Amino acid sequence: MPALPDRKTVERAATWYVQFQHQPPSHAERQAWQDWLDSDPAHQAAWHQIEQLQRHLGALPQDLSRRALGTGQHRRQVLKLLMLLGGAGSVGWSLQDHGTLASAWADYKTAVGQRRFIDLADGSRIHLNTETAIDVSFDAHRRLIRLLSGEILVQTGKLKDTRPFLVETGDGRIEALGTRFTVRQLSNRTRVGVLEDRVRVSPDGTLGSAGILKAGEQADFNGQGMGFIQSYAASQAAWVNGQLIVLDAPLGDVIEELSRYRPGVLHCQEKARQLRVSGTLRLNATDAVLANLQASLPIQVRYYTRYWVSITRAD
């Protein structure tokens, strides 16, 4: 088992990460990072914790990265946040407050890039997307899925089970009304998209604030309520078949989505983010996808390591 990283090691890993979010590394920086990573298993464990945090909370916003690399006070604030969320020992996560560590004890889960489905006793099927964890709790009164992290597609059973079918996240509950729908846990909200029939969304877990979403609709919600209803296409759930279908989408958005399916850092230069992409991309072959993007767009894909890839504009 890898050594548990101490506070100093986590701080160093967070410093590397904040720096590399700002810009691709020079050769000397890349070599220094690789030497540090290879010198101690605890370094690799600390880096993995920061990667886990990035995947669950998303990449650091640009303004936050710039401030982290600027004054010492702002830098310390950002590093403190990373350490509190990704650190070990006394600064580790509470299982009651953070679903990420709780996911280690989930009933069903997937690793980065993995997808699977499970069939439940009531005839329902749950598809788990990349890095997803759920608990299943069926009793005499209800059928409950707790989404701890990631994204699922739910297809409720046809066995005429009268118990309510609920999906619970950190932001509230969704009740299935004989339907197919997706639920994705984001850093500060939950996203629901409906493929068939309807769902009832209760942002605070009570019916008093519930809203209805119909087939072809999606919305985000958190404890404060549900956001605007938007259109939802079946292609948005193509990950079930190992595909990412995009139509005239910004390259930056495509790269962010691809990064969910591969470990490590996948960085896209700001100048390249607005290039447009259309096509059907294979989620189980992200290296091939990157090669095809490089062949069809004015970009250069650089592999600094297996887990560190940078996309820059070539023109």
2 within domain boundaries:
no
| CATH number of the domain within which 123 lies | 2.60.120.1440
Secondary element (H or E) of residue 45: helix 41-57
| CATH number of domain containing 261 | 3.55.50.30
Question: Tens digit of pLDDT for each residue in 246-269?
Answer: 999 999 999 999 999 998 888 899
Q: What is the pTM of this model?
A: 0.71
Q: Could you tell me if 117 and 183 lie in one domain? A: yes
User: pLDDT averaged over the chain?
Assistant: 81
75 and 132 share one domain: no
Do 114 and 85 have their domain in common? no
Task: List, for residues 54-65, the tens digit of each pLDDT value.
Answer: 655 444 444 444
Distance CA 248, CA 239 (A): 18
125 or 13, which is more confident: 125
Q: What is the mean pLDDT of residues 174-179?
A: 88
Instruction: Say yes or no to pLDDT of 210 above 60.
Output: yes
Residues 76 and 108 in one domain: no
Q: What is the pLDDT of residue 245?
A: 96
For residues 63 and 135, membership in a common domain is answered with: no
Instruction: State the pLDDT confidence band at 281, using cuts at 50, 70 and 90.
Output: very high
Residue 26 placed within a domain: yes
Q: Kindly state the average pLDDT of the residues 203-218.
A: 81
Supply the pLDDT for residue 179: 86
Same domain, 227 and 271: no
User: 98 pLDDT exceeds 90?
Assistant: no
Q: Who wins on pLDDT, 307 or 173?
A: 173
Residue pair 71/89 in contact by the 8 Å Cβ criterion? no
223-237: per-residue pLDDT in tens? 888 999 999 999 999
In this prediction, residue 296 carries a pLDDT of: 95
Using one digit for the tens of pLDDT, what is the confidence trace for 14-41? 777 777 765 667 778 878 888 888 888 8
pLDDT digits (tens, 9 = 90+) for 107-119: 899 999 999 999 9
80 and 151 together in one domain: no
In a domain, 1, yes or no: no
> Do residues 121 and 185 share a domain?
yes
Q: Which domain holds residue 280?
A: 242-313
228 and 151 fall within a common domain: yes
Of 233, 257, 275, the domain-final residue: 233
Beta carbons within 8 Å of 72's beta carbon, 6+ residues apart: none
**Domain assignment present for 217:** yes
Structure confidence by residue, pLDDT tens digits, 59-96: 444 444 444 444 444 444 455 555 555 443 333 433 33
Flag whether 24 is in a domain: yes
pLDDT of 93 reads 37
∠ CA(174), CA(234), CA(264), 5° rounding? 80
What pLDDT is attached to residue 196?
Answer: 95
Here the contacts of 105-112 (C-beta below 8 Å, separation 24 or greater) are 106/133, 106/134, 106/135, 106/148, 107/134, 107/135, 107/136, 108/133, 108/134, 108/136, 109/133, 109/134, 110/150, 112/55, 112/260, 112/261, 112/262, 112/263
Question: Are residues 142 and 32 located together in one domain of the fold?
Answer: no
**229 and 264 in a common domain:** no
Residue 227 lies in a domain: yes
- Please indicate, yes or no, whether residues 40 and 85 belong to a single structural domain of this protein: yes
Tokens representing 61? 């916003």
Residue 247 lies in a domain: yes
Whether 97 is in a domain gets the answer: no
Of the candidates 213, 233, 253, which is a domain's last residue? 233
Say what the pLDDT of residue 21 is.
63
Give dist(CA 163, CA 158) in Å, integer: 12
**Owner of token pair 């409906």:** 194
Q: How many domains would you assign to the chain?
A: 3
Question: Domain ends where: 74, 92, 110?
Answer: 92
